[in-house]
Structure 1
Amino acid sequence: MTRILIIGYMGAGKTTLGKVLAKELGLPFYDLDWYIESRMMKTVPQLFAERGEEGFRKVEHNMLHEVAEFEDVVISCGGGTPCFYDNMEYMNAQGDTVYLKASPEVLYAHLQMGKVERPLLKNKTREEMQAFIKEQLAEREKYYTKARHIFNVDLLDNYEKIQTSVNNLRKLLNI
């Protein structure tokens, strides 16, 4: 049985690399945020607005416990998922965890490329966003580094770089 849980800061490339990895392995891919949205019939920003971060994290915790029971899957978790409750320990017990480690500069570049609304970055200027990423990444690093594997991610701005990263990720996981 293969169960790969990909973690890291928002914009690290969890969904991008996870989708390609899952396709190559012939496994289903689940993005935890998308799973939450489909089960709750609301977007993550709506859930944040209605329930606050604490309320959202409770929902996220419960949905993680559902999706991480699936067999033969690749799962991309939200950036904050490992940092709440016993989520990181639970994920390590469920399968291979991979922390996609990226510099604040790479994260900022990825977030600028992405079109997804990020509740925690809403209404921030470029400078505020860069400072926020750096500060929050420093806080979250202690959770992320509990992953079984750490995989450094560079700028994923074209298919060739994504494919090279997936190939290197497969070598790291021995699959």
Structure 2
Amino acid sequence: MKSIIIIGYMGAGKTTVGKALAKELGVMFYDLDWYIESRMRKTVKQIFDEIGEEGFRKIERNMLHEVAEFENVVVSCGGGTPCFFDNMDYMNQLGETIYLKASPETLHTHLKMGKGVRPLLLNKTPEEVEIFIREQLKLREPFYNKAKHIIDINVMDDFNKINGMVEQIRKMLNV
């Protein structure tokens, strides 16, 4: 099996869907941000604070190349991963790419419910976050839309729907 690489904006559910898909397929799951944190022994926020976004993106690219080379894996990437260097083309060459597509409203709702620290959203009001999401999506969608498969996740709001999404992905990929 080629690697399955899940992309999308922060809050789209990449980790949730990726974990469920990997469990269903009986393969390893890697969240690229978690992988970076374990390898660097620092949080993504600490890396951002110490070397800025450009430095982080270089590390992210190297770690993507490391983890994506594994066989029989599901990988969820950070929201910006596809948008830098040749990352999106690389992921498409290596495996099956799936874009979890969501509206800015859905993403904003998911991010409000989430507990993780999002360095790009720190110190922003809810209104500023919504504007930021809209602007970022406009910039990132051309990269996200290069994915081999696109799934609308605007309706994914409970575990039954997540399981349905996993089943949809399995059928789409014939796995």
- Range of TM-score over shorter length: over 0.9
Alignment of 1:1-150 (within 5 A): 1-150=1-150
Q: In 2, Cα distance between the equivalents of 1:168 and 1:102?
A: 16
Q: Describe the superposition over 1:94-151 as per-residue Cα deviations: whole angstroms up to 9, x where unpaired.
A: 1000111101011111111110000000111111000100110011000001111111
Q: Which runs of 5+ in 1 are unaligned?
A: none
Q: Determine the structure 2 residue equivalent to 1:157.
A: 157
State the 1:155 CA deviation. Answer: 4.3
What is the TM-score normalised by the length of structure 1?
0.97
What is the TM-score normalised by the length of structure 2?
0.97
Q: In 2, Cα distance between the equivalents of 1:173 and 1:134?
A: 30
State the 1:154 CA deviation. Answer: 1.8
User: What is the identity, as a one-letter code, of the residue corresponding to 1:7?
Assistant: I
State the 1:25 CA deviation. Answer: 0.1
Q: In 2, Cα distance between the equivalents of 1:44 and 1:156?
A: 26
Q: Which runs of 5+ in 2 are unaligned?
A: none
Q: Describe the superposition over 1:23-50 as per-residue Cα deviations: whole angstroms up to 9, x where unpaired.
A: 0000000000000000000000000000
Aligned residues with identical type, % of pairs: 67
Work out whether residues 5 and 77 of structure 1, in 8 Å CA contact, stay in contact via their aligned partners in 2. yes
Q: How many residues align?
A: 175
